[in-house]
Amino acid sequence: MKTFFIIFGTFIFLVLGTAFYYGMFNKVNFIEKSIGGEVLVYQEMIGDYKQSGSKIDIVSQELKNNFNLDCQIGFGVYFDQPGQVAKEKLRSEVGCLLSKESISRFDEISLSKDLKIRRNPVARNIVSEFPYRNQISYFLGPLKIYSALNKYLKIHNYQAAPSMELYDSQKDRIEYRMVVVEK
């Protein structure tokens, strides 16, 4: 019986330690601020949002191979809410932020047949962050952030809008944004 409690206690400790490491006990904080203006290089995607990572990799490779540019920060703009739209019909734009040093190449990249490019408009956004640890963070972050965001929207009488996620592995964070739309 003592062995059972040791094994069970160790298991619980590992589960709680892992959840703590991934930020599942972190308090979700939102701020509202005007943000945007980044240059987005992307491809449109229709289908399950779980495919976003592989599509970001494709955009990153296109930038590297055709323009000798590195993707420092990946992103996804997600237009539909899973559960309300069938997985195979979910719409998004996924790709890379163009670094400030590379913005001068806007016109050159805009001629690409495989990539789209646009400036993200500056707007008042609801913003939050989640720690990036590894690939598991891409799954856990939305679970934690979007449930809290839905409560925030309801409390402030805002309606849901497309969301944007910025994946910054160099700063070990994922930033979540949603433009403020009042009801």
Q: Where are the domains of the chain?
A: 27-179
Annotate 109-141 with b (16+ C-beta within 10 A) or e (fewer): beeeeebebeebeebebbbbbbbbeeeebbebb
Residue 17, pLDDT score:
62
The reported pTM is 0.88
Q: How much is the pLDDT for 178?
A: 97
SS3 52: helix
Q: Does domain 27-179 have CATH number 1.20.1250.20?
A: no
Low-confidence ranges of the chain (pLDDT < 70): 5, 8, 13, 15-25
In whole angstroms, give the CA distance from residue 110 to residue 1.
68
Structure tokens at 181: 């739309």
Two structure tokens written together for 100 = 């400030």
Contact status, residue 43 vs residue 116, Cβ threshold 8 Å: yes
Report pLDDT for 170: 87
Using alpha carbons, select from 52, 108, 111, 47 the residue that is nearest to residue 76. 52
83: left (phi over 0), alpha (psi -120 to 50) or beta: left
Q: What is the pLDDT of residue 123?
A: 97
